[in-house]
Amino acid sequence: MTVPAELLADLCAALDPARVHREPTEIALYARDASLTRAGGPVAVCFPVDTAEVAACVRVARSHRCAFVARGAGTGLAGGAVPVEGAVVIVLTKMDRIRSIDVARCVAWVEPGVLNLDLNRAVAPHGLRFAPDPSSQQACSIGGNVANNSGGPHCLAEGVTSAHVLAMEVVLPTGEVTVLGGLDPDPAGFDLRGSFVGSEGTLGIATAVAVRLLPLPPCVRTVLATFGDVASAANAVSAVIAEGLVPAALEMLAGPMIGAVEDFVHAGFPREAGAVLLAEVDGMPAATAEAVEVLLRVCGEHGASSVTVATTEEQRALWWKGRKSAFGAVARIAPNYYLHDTVVPRSKLAGVLEQVDAIAAAHGLQVLHVFHAGDGNLHPLLVFDARTPGVLERVHAAGDEIVAVSLAAGGVLSGEHGIGLEKRNHMASMFSPTDLDAQARLRDAFDPDGLANPTKILPAGSRCGDLQQVPPGVWV
Amino acid sequence: MNRTLEDFAHAVGPEGPVTVVGGRTRWEVGGPLQPGVREVRAPSGVVTHEPSEMTVRAGAGTTVADLHAVLGAVGQTTILPEQAGSTIGGVLAVGHSGIERLGWGPVRDAVLEVRLVNADGELVKGGGPTVKNVSGYDLPRLFVGSLGLLGLLGEVVLRTRPLPRCRRWYHAPGARPASLRAALYRPLSLLWDGTDCWVQLEGHPDDVEAQVATAGAVLVPVPGPPPLPPQRWSIDPASVEAALTGPPEGEVCVAEYGVGVLHRHQAPPPVVPDPAVGRLHQRLRAAFDPTGRFSPGRSVLP
């Protein structure tokens, strides 16, 4: 690729040249994220340290009619941070300051490069927490959480990221710096904050985020229930919700995933179980005690082989480590995995899981289940070795069928990982051309020139004059 | 009025100035309409309610009271505030949350899916019916508080929640709101008029009693909140103390402490948006309603 010298010169003038990188290894590294998607390569990788530098990067890119792509920790699983060929990648990891924590008002202003877990560690001594807790929270950044509207186990009761973002300082795709939303409850005008969260860097770049913090609950009880088969566990999940109980978290691991996690972290899950349900309830003592009783009774009624309440914080932490290490544990089974994160109505969980298993078997693939059962958010991991000839095509075909059965059950395409590049061609199975046109209008209003992370979310042809091509060599 | 979504879209049609009418309980928000604007009504009635999913699909013309009557029969409700005659679509279009916002969050968080009619008279879906969904852009949130200027809501899917086992109001004469906020675990409401506090608690009766006992102030059971003046200000919650210190002579002002809503008699001053935000608004209007046929005269910004 010929590197436009003037673009590079302008970027080096806008930032310290030491923070404009274009070594081949870095170009290769920043051409991908944690998904399977591989693309060509960015023209440069910039590391701004403040809002003014982000805005400068955007303005330089614009002046050269060059696409720009914001990037956090790169843990995304849908290719949202994979740049189009020749884009300027703007990495936000050097903007990692917590600007302020207002304990009395339960608000913190944080920069996008702050890691999710670091934010939680910083506010915990004040008796506060940031509710979204993706399993990758040790590595993923708040900016990425905002871009993907990320979830996590504890979003069952508290809602995903959008419910916890009050305001954002952003660099718009036009290069303007402004604030969307506000600390006041009803900022005047359209909910631009709500539109921006989950837009995967296509509506601009957040350079500071005002997050809502919740008080740590006075009482937390965690229950581990084991079942002989997945269907019984899934039915127990549905029955818990039908009781009018919304636990803080309700997570499931099934089949061979349990053994993989045991080998990896020795969480104390019984290897012989068909499914393990990890349920947590929190709040005031009497309500929590009552909720534990409901969990014990409902799991018993649905044939649980064992139900254990954590008696120590160590035991609880170990169970959660088991749950949150599951994706890492998969590496012990096969070098690659691919997953969808469709959501289905909770009452359809058992049936859809059975269909997913049948789909994987029909394609000769192994599927592992670890997922947010309480909100019906599946994460079927198709595990494979990408060096096997023809396996990617089978994985791709199985993935398509998993999406189809999820949508047929009344579900949606993505619960928390986003659409990015990998899922964008499925958007037309959930939305009509008119629906997609409305989404494209929103995007165009923010980004009239189509330079902010082009080709993501919306399939080609969602709007008139959609000439953005998927990068060559991309597997989507 | 139980029309279908298709009938509604047909009534909106592709041209001519038009507005959607709900219960007219907040009709003045956003300013007066130009004369000669055609009025349409959204479909009404609960379409599907899945208690075990804790979601409900209903026509935007359904009154919140009717919705809550259906949900209440199986022990559920929504966080939409109930006011005589107000409709789901009206509440969402205006976007004002109820006084339980401190505990339950804003109404925008309750909306999972919207079906609306666009400026060409076509039906558009945004969001999805499940409790968790990040498939594509968040059109539902864009439409909450949009005053029907980007499209007309016809049907929505809302998240429901269990009716609390126990829900009680207390009056705390002379109590400091900051102390109450620190002492109570996630109260539903904490109101302050500069002198007294009112607190709403929900949950297990034992927990409510325990909270009252450890609140650090005398909490006297009362039937409900104090009367709230009609005007609504939205301010940074950090400014509530300053706003109520030395209030205007004789004016009653009740603050939603921790939220930042002030209920006053005086109208709030107009908000001047940042120019970049103003331009974004203009582009959104132009993108969704190029001819300005939806509720002409009305505006979300001054």
Task: Using CB atoms within 10 Å of the CB of residue B148, give its burial: 0 to 12 exposed, 13 to 18 middle, 19+ buried.
Answer: buried
So what's the pLDDT on residue B1? 53
Contacts of B204 in chain A (CB under 8 A): 284, 286-287, 290
Lowest-confidence pick of B53-67, B111-125, B264-278: B264-278
Residue-wise pLDDT for B51-78, tens only, equals 989 999 999 999 999 999 999 999 999 9
Consecutive H or E run containing A429: helix A427-430
In this complex, is the C-beta atom of A92 within 8 Å of any C-beta atom belonging to chain B?
Answer: no
Contact A287 B204 (CB under 8 A): yes
Whole-structure pTM value: 0.96
B66 contacts B84 by C-beta, under 8 angstroms = no
How far apart CA A74 and CA A80 sit, in angstroms, is: 9
Out of A412, A416, A448, the one facing B128 most closely (by C-beta) is A412
**Residues of A (354-393) whose Cβ lies below 8 Å from B:** 372, 375-377
Identify which of A129, A35, A30 has the alpha carbon closest to the alpha carbon of residue A327: A35
Q: Is pLDDT of B184 > 90?
A: yes
pLDDT at B155 over 60: yes
The A residues from 213 to 272 touching B (CB cutoff 8 Å) are 214-215, 217-218, 238, 241-242, 244-246
Q: Find where tokens 């790169």 sit.
A: A74
CA terminus-to-terminus distance, chain A: 23
Mean pLDDT value of segment B39-50? 96
Mean pLDDT (chain B, rounded): 95
Q: Profile chain A (476 residues) by mean pLDDT over runs of 10 residues.
A: 83 95 93 85 96 98 97 94 95 98 96 98 97 93 97 92 98 98 96 98 98 97 97 95 93 94 93 96 97 98 97 96 90 90 94 96 95 95 94 95 97 95 94 97 97 95 55 44
* Longest Cα separation, chain A: 70
For chain B, positions 187-206, list CB contacts with chain A under 8 A.
Answer: 203-206
Whole-number pLDDT of residue A455: 94
> Is the minimum CB–CB distance between A124 and chain B shorter than 8 Å?
no
Q: What is the DSSP letter of A385?
A: -
Give yes or no for A421 touching B (CB within 8 A): no
Plot region of B54 (φ>0 → left; ψ -120 to 50 → alpha; else → beta): left
pLDDT at B246 over 90: no
Both structure tokens of A310? 């954590």
Number of helices (H) and strands (E), helices first, in chain A? 16, 18
pLDDT band at B248 (very low <50, low <70, confident <90, very high): low
Q: Residue A346 and residue B53: Cβ atoms within 8 Å?
A: yes
Q: What pLDDT shows up at residue A474?
A: 46
Percent of chain B with pLDDT over 90: 93
**Structure confidence at residue A468 (pLDDT):** 46
Q: What does the pLDDT read at residue B106?
A: 98
pLDDT for residue A2: 58
Is B145–A163 a contact, with Cβ atoms under 8 angstroms apart? no
Mean pLDDT of B245-272: 88
**CB proximity list for B87: less than 8 A, separation 6 or greater:** B22, B23, B42, B44, B60, B61, B62, B63, B64
Predicted confidence (pLDDT) at residue B199 exceeds the cutoff of 70: yes
- Calpha distance A127→A103 (Å, rounded): 9
**pLDDT score of A465:** 41
In the prediction, which pLDDT does B247 show?
A: 57
- Rounded distance between C-alpha atoms, residue A369 and residue A381, angstroms: 6
Compute the distance between CA of residue B65 and CA of residue B60 in angstroms, rounded to an integer. 13
Q: A293-297, B203-207, B264-268: lowest mean pLDDT where? A: B264-268
Question: What pLDDT score does B302 carry?
Answer: 77
**ipTM tops the 0.90 cut:** yes
